[in-house]
Amino acid sequence: MNRALHHMDFIFQTAMGTYPLAAQCEMLVEHGYQGLTMSAWSQDLKSIPQVKPTWGLDVGAVYLIYRKGLEAFVTQVFESLEGCTTIELALHSGEEVTNFDRRMLERLLPICERRGLHINLYPHARYGLQTTTEAIALCREFNHPRLNIVFNGYHWYATEEGALEERLDALWPWLQHVNIAGTRRSPLGWGGLATIEPLDEGEMDNFVLLGALERRGFTGRVGVLGWQSMGGDVYGNLRRSAVAFRSMEQRLAAHPEWALLTEMPR
């Protein structure tokens, strides 16, 4: 084990209800995770400063969605967040990136400077900011050291952005963290696009994705996505993802060349 493995807390928000923070953290610790990303709608934002001293876990980021009308809420999260310095920000103020998003960022970046926070744009399928290409364009436009990108393998796959190597090269100057999920294209999946599953499932090859990151020298943390649609026993799903991740990590160390694929002829 060498890379920090986090899990997004969405996995604990199931159709049956949401696990209490203590249970979330105890499960993550038991499976050898190093941290979690907390969603901004979590009831536990105020408890973030207690997570590290109590369970030894890092809250690597808070995941937040900006939609029109949420300006005050978003600003308030930035103004009040304690115990975590990174906000993974999804932008969904319209069908594409809009001036509402730009105005929001103009308002948030000075708060980041003042409070020592960082924004990682989170490209998200079916949102205004969907692709890594759009996130890169926005980062270029703002050219601000506190505005960067989290690469989400799931959304890259679900949006069928393709050209993984080129996308990672283009992202590289802004790439802070990576989120991954097991996924396959399916109308039954999230947004009618692709499933969200534990890392040992799905059609997308996360070993190849992690290999491409490794070749570029990525040393940041990796978060696992998780979503209520994967269903079932959360503890078991957490274990499957952790086991699969450590297996991939170990294989990449032993056989980095295995992850070098050739393109399928069309």
Partner 1 sequence: MAHRVHALDSFFYSSMGVYAFQSQCEMLAELGFDGITVSAWGGTPLTDLRLLPRIREQHGLRVEGLYLVLHEGRNDHLIRRIIESVEGVELIELAVQTSVNGSSAILRFIESVLPIAERRGLRIALYPHLHHVTQTTAEVVQICEYFAHPHLGASFNGYHWYASQEGELQQRLEAMQPWLMQVVLSGSTLSELGWGGVATMEPVDRGELDNFAVVAALNSVGYTGSIGVLGWDYGGDIYLKLQRCLTTLRDIDRRLECHPHGPDFTSL
Contacts with partner 1, residue ranges (CB under 8 A): 157, 164, 182, 184-188, 199-209, 244, 247-248, 251, 255, 257-258, 260-265
* Residue with Cβ nearer partner 1 (1 or 23): 1
| CB 189, min distance to partner 1, A | 10
Say which residue the tokens 């952790």 belong to.
Answer: 242
| CB 200, min distance to partner 1, A | 5
* Residue with Cβ nearer partner 1 (35 or 198): 198
* Residue with Cβ nearer partner 1 (63 or 190): 190
| CB 243, min distance to partner 1, A | 9
| CB 208, min distance to partner 1, A | 5
* Residue with Cβ nearer partner 1 (121 or 210): 210
* Residue with Cβ nearer partner 1 (43 or 262): 262
Q: Could you give the C-alpha distances from 69 to 98, 127, 182, 186, in angstroms and in order?
A: 14, 16, 33, 32
Say which residue the tokens 């952005």 belong to.
Answer: 161
Helix (H, G, I), strand (E, B) or coil at 127: coil
For residues 64 and 40, is the Cβ–Cβ distance under 8 A?
yes
* E-state strands within 130-234: 147-152, 175-180, 185-190, 194, 222-224
Helix 164-171 × helix 206-215 angle, to 10°: 40
| CB 153, min distance to partner 1, A | 11
Which phi and psi angles does 95 have, rounded to 5°? -70, -25
